Amino acid sequence: MSKSAVRTDAAPAPFQGAPYNQAVVANGFVFVSGQGPLDPSGKLVEGDIAVATHQTFDNLQAILEAAGSSLDKVVKASVFLSDLGEFGAMNDVYKERMPAPHPARTTVQAAKLPGGIAVEIDVIATID
């Protein structure tokens, strides 16, 4: 098996220089690390959970495109919320941004997310 790292300036670099890649391509799949509501410079985007979720999807989309994939090729998503009470608003944006047929998904409330963010999403997508 070979694997390669994905890096784009259209999405934030790993949080605080942590030792991970934005994504890794292996065996026809791209595995995108958790993304949150940070702009490409790494600055937290101000706003409610809908704004945060849109920015998170902007980051996911940029990384997927850099890897030769797209949101419509996502087969699995994991969503982490700092407050499960925000599920409805996050889910409205998710339905808007994630094309059907929707991927398998896990959504959980996390006790604390890095940098105090409200939402983090990671995905696995195919590349063809």
Count of structural domains within the chain: 1
Q: What CATH number corresponds to the domain at position 61? A: 3.30.1330.40
Q: What pLDDT was estimated at residue 89? A: 98
Q: What pLDDT was estimated at residue 15? A: 85
Q: What pLDDT was estimated at residue 128? A: 80
* CA 24 to each of CA 63, 69, 124: distance values in angstroms, whole numbers, following the listed order: 10, 12, 10
- Statement: the pTM of the whole predicted model exceeds 0.85: yes
Return averaged pLDDT per consecutive 10 residues of the chain, 128 residues in all.
94 91 97 97 96 98 98 98 98 97 97 94 96
- Domain range enclosing 20: 3-126
